[in-house]
Chains A and B, each alone.
Chain A
Amino acid sequence: MQTTNDVIVIGSGASGGMAAWNLTRQGVDVLMLDAGTRFARAKFWTHVKPWEWNARVDRGDRPPQFYLDTKEQPYDTPQGQPFDLVRVWGRGGKTNVWGRVALRYSDVDFAGPERDGWEIPWPIRYRDIKPYYDKVDQFIGVCGGTDDQDSLPGSPYMLPAAPPRCGERLLQKAGRSVGVSIVAGRRAVLTKPHGGHAACHYCGSCGRGCDVGAFFNASDYLIEPAMETGKLRVMDNAVVARVLVDDEGKANGVQYFDRVTKEEHTLRARVVIVAASCIDSTRILLNSKSTAHPNGIGNSSDVIGRYLSEQIRFHMYGFLPELIGGPTQNDDGIGGEHIYMPRFNHRGAKRDYLRGFGAQFWGSGAQADAGFAKVLPGFGVDFKTAVKKRYPALVALHPYGEVLPRAENRVRVDDAHVDRYGVPVARIEYKIGENEHKMAKEMYDTAEQILRAAKAEIMPFQRGHLDVAGSAIHEHGTCRMGADKKRSALNGFCQMHDVPNVFVVDGAAFTTASEKNPTLTILALAWRATDYLAQEMKSGRV
Chain B
Amino acid sequence: MLPAAAQHEHPEVVAAYTLKVFSPDEMKRVATLVDLIIPRTDTPGASDAHVPEFIDRKLSLNEELKDRFLAGLRGFDGVLSDSNPFSKLLKEMTIDGYYTSKEGLTQELGWHGNTFLTEFKGCTHADHE
> Which residues from chain A sit less than 8 Å from chain B, CB to CB?
47, 49-56, 58-59, 162-166, 168-170, 173, 201-205, 322, 327-328, 330-334, 338, 366-371, 373-374, 377-381, 383-384, 387-388, 391
Contacts and interface: CB of A to CB of B under 8 A. Distances in A.
Contact of B12 (A52, A338, A379): A52
Contacts of B7: none
Query: In terms of DSSP, what is the predominant structure of the interface of chain B?
Result: loop
Contact of B95 (A173, A201, A322, A370): A370
Given A50-B100, A205-B114, A332-B114, A370 B109 contact: yes
Contacts of B125: 166, 169
Given A55-B13, A370-B109, A380 B123 contact: no
B105 A51 contact: yes
B106 to A, nearest CB: 9
B39 A381 contact: yes
A173 B80 CA distance: 41
Contacts, number: 135
Nearest to B101: A51
A368 to B, nearest CB: 6
Contacts of B57: 54, 58
Contacts of A328: 109-112
Interface string B76-97: 0000101000000001100110
Main secondary structure of the interface of A (DSSP, over half): loop
Contacts of B117: 201-203, 330, 332
B37 A383 contact: yes
A168 B101 CA distance: 27
Contact of A371 (B38, B80, B95, B104): B95
A395 B11 CA distance: 35
B39 A370 contact: no
A387 B99 contact: yes
Contacts of A331: 113
- Most B CB atoms within 10 A — which of A56, A168, A173, A202? A202
Nearest to B109: A391
Of B13, B121, B123, most A-chain CB atoms within 10 Å = B123
24 contacts: A47-B114, A51-B105, A59-B12, A165-B123, A166-B122, A168-B123, A169-B122, A201-B118, A202-B115, A202-B117, A202-B120, A203-B115, A203-B117, A327-B110, A330-B113, A331-B113, A332-B113, A368-B100, A368-B111, A370-B109, A381-B41, A384-B39, A388-B109, A391-B109
Nearest to A334: B120
A366 B113 contact: yes
A322 B105 contact: no
A368 B38 contact: no
Nearest to A323: B128
A369 B120 contact: no
A47 B41 CA distance: 29
Contact of B114 (A59, A166, A169, A368): A368
